[in-house]
Amino acid sequence: MASATKLRILGQRSLQALPALVGIIIVTFVLTRALPGDPAVYFAGPAADARSIAEIRKQLGLDRTLIEQFGIYLRQLAQGDLGQSISTGQPVIKELVNRLPASIELTLVALLLSALVAIPLGILAATRPDTWVDHLCRFVTTAGVSLPTFFTGILLVYVFYYLLGWAPAPMGRLNVMYLSPPHVTGFFTIDALLAGDLETLRATLAQLILPATTLGLFTLAPLARMTRGSMLQVLGSDFVRTARAAGLSGRKVLFTYAFRNALLPVITTLGMVFSFTLGANVLVEKVFAWPGIGSYAIEALVVSDYAAVQGFVLAMAILFVALNLVIDVAYTLVDPRVGIEG
């Protein structure tokens, strides 16, 4: 019965996301229209006269009323057509399919690295407060957030590419010497594995490591601080005292009793950090010439490329909804109380 309740809760959560999506579609449509700048003027070029501007405006469908434009937009959306980017001339959906996995892959690897360091560091700091581990944790996390990502990025490139020559040139997802693995998921690492091409996998990882480290350093702080804080709280709780009084081994108390309980706020933070990083890693993408979604969106925004901006915001919105669902699933897996109180 408990699992059925949980499934129902998850179903409800996903349904609750629908109104949010509808709202996002409307708001992004209106907002992009309200942006300053006229794309028709921009694309007609500096030499254009009023007639050619009007012609381009008609071509783009911008001469119709907002309601009509919205209707067209919805109809296209229903067919999976996000329109064409006016700056690149490519269908937006195609660009997103290429660029979104690049960003997600980078962010996921960065978070994985970050969590692998931050969570053990947080646990160690919590079990030994005011010792050198704790101070180290504080120092590393403070340094991580204090340094801007473009600076750490350039520093890493300087040291590991220019000075030491360990890392490949920071030129996108794959060295030009390699062919992209056959497109299955869009994640080069997974695609290379699926194709059984270990050489490409190695090259992909080599490209990934520096930008992922850059991002990871930045996300270290919230994760480590949250792990430390929530571990400290749980370690002081009554049930940990019971476990210790029952003579359970330190490992059992720390992981089965304390850590699993401390994990809940960490999961929430992880989700928040992920969504924040995905949208905010433009600087890292620029430094490493990463063909991600952040740089795409910025470029589109600068030239009032309606279709591209709308497509970007919509893709992000869907991603966030999916992410929240994943967090909810993780929560229900860890915490049996969710089914009752949720």
Partner 1 sequence: MTALPLLHVSDLTVEFQTRNGTVTAVSSVDLTVAKGETVGIVGESGSGKSVTSYAVMRILDRAGRIADGTVTFSGIELHNADDEVMREIRGREISMIFQNPRAALNPIRRVGEQIEDVLRQHAQATSRNAREKAIDLLRLVRINDPEARYLAFPFELSGGMCQRIIIAIALACRPRLLIADEPTTGLDVTTQKAVMDLVVELTRAREMSTVLITHDLGLAAQYCDRIVVMEKGRVVETAPARRIFRAPEHPYTQRLMSATPRPGITLRDLLPNRPEAAAPPPKWQRSPDATEKPILSVVDLVKEYPRAGAKARGAESAGAFRAVDGISFDILPGESVGLVGESGCGKSTTSAMVMRLLDPTSGTIRFEDRDIGAIPAKNFARDPARSRLQMVFQDSTDSLNPRFTAFRAIADPLYRIGGVTREAQARAQVERLADQVVLPHDLLDRFPHQLSGGQKARVGIARAIALEPALLVLDEPTAALDVSVQAIVLNLLADLKAELGMSYLFVSHDLNVVRLLCDRVIVMQAGRIVEQASAEEIMTSPRDAYTRELLAAVPRPPV
Per-residue contact track with partner 1, 2 to 31, x per CB under 8 A? ---x--x-----------------------
Is residue 161 within 8 Å of residue 154, measured between CB atoms? no
Q: How far is the CB of 326 from partner 1 (least distance, A)?
A: 19
Residue 16 or residue 249: which is nearer to partner 1 going by CB?
Answer: 249
Q: How far is the CB of 332 from partner 1 (least distance, A)?
A: 11
135 binds partner 1 (CB under 8 A): no
- Which range in 46-54, 157-165, 223-231, 252-260 contacts partner 1 by CB under 8 A? 252-260
237 binds partner 1 (CB under 8 A): yes
Question: In the set 146, 241, 255, 322, which binds partner 1 (CB under 8 A)?
Answer: 241
- Please give the Cα distance from 338 to 331 (Å, whole number): 7
- At 123, the amino acid letter reads I
Residue 84, beta-bridge partner list: 91
335 binds partner 1 (CB under 8 A): yes
Residue 5 or residue 69: which is nearer to partner 1 going by CB?
Answer: 5
The residue behind tokens 């924040």 is 276
- Which range in 46-54, 84-92, 187-195, 239-247 contacts partner 1 by CB under 8 A? 239-247
Give 10: exposed, middle or buried? Use CB within 10 Å, 0-12, 13-18, 19+.
middle
Q: How far is the CB of 125 from partner 1 (least distance, A)?
A: 14
259 binds partner 1 (CB under 8 A): no
Among residues 105, 119, 161, 143, which one has the least CA distance to residue 287?
Answer: 161
Question: In the set 256, 302, 318, 329, which binds partner 1 (CB under 8 A)?
Answer: 256
- Please give the Cα distance from 327 to 333 (Å, whole number): 10
The residue behind tokens 């996921």 is 108
Residue 248 or residue 289: which is nearer to partner 1 going by CB?
Answer: 248
Q: In sequence order, what are the residues at sequence separation of 6 or more whose Cβ sits closer than 8 angstroms to the Cβ of residue 297?
A: 282, 308, 309, 312
Q: How far is the CB of 341 from partner 1 (least distance, A)?
A: 9
Structure tokens at 330: 């993780």
- Which range in 60-68, 160-168, 174-182, 249-257 contacts partner 1 by CB under 8 A? 249-257
Q: How far is the CB of 223 from partner 1 (least distance, A)?
A: 21
Is residue 261 within 8 Å of residue 182, measured between CB atoms? no
CA distances from 11 to 5, 15, 55 (A): 10, 6, 48
- Please give the Cα distance from 273 to 250 (Å, whole number): 31
Under the rule (CB under 8 A), what is the footprint of partner 1? 5, 8, 129, 236-239, 241-250, 252, 256-257, 260-261, 334-337, 340
